[in-house]
Homo-oligomer: A and B are copies of this chain.
């Protein structure tokens, strides 16, 4: 059952939800229809179960855990995003930011699934806002900064750069992006962004 979810998420990520059939997933696992529909009611319910477990976990591990409870928010965020971009860069077959891809795919088509995806995004957002607010009280960040705005900006730019990096062979894309973000962060940092 866990293997089905794992393979399902991989294939959905690679080929998209609508372009991946249950048979594709089962073929990759040498399983039968019976096995699948014993564990899951439908393709939709299957995807939702993946969202709430594997997808959420992945976003948490990759983007939330590395910044949780850390000091020096701006540098921490920079480092976290850079790590993720490096992994994507080194992965020959990268398909972009998985959460962003699904949001794009389900937008306007499946409100229920969209709400689950939006929830995950919100958790990330809230965590970023939290660490930034703490950074203010800890004297890392200028108090006149609007954390919500900054977080929207960070998330937007990260989603975008992941989309762009996918097909572009430009090896400086990651470096340039981080440089720009760092430059921007400097304007709101009370200490020094390294």
Contact = CB atoms under 8 A, between A and B. Distances in A.
Contacts of A152: 161, 164, 173, 176-177, 180
Contact of A153 (B95, B108, B168, B180): B180
Contacts of A93: 108
B167 A114 contact: yes
A187 to B, nearest CB: 6
A107 B84 CA distance: 19
A127 interface: no
Interface residues of A, number: 47
A179 B100 contact: no
Interface in A1-22: 14-16, 18-19
Interface in A123-179: 146, 148-150, 152-153, 155-161, 163-164, 166-168, 172-173, 176-177, 179
Count chain B CB atoms within 10 A of each CB in A146, A152, A183 and give the residue with the most.
A152
A150 to B, nearest CB: 7
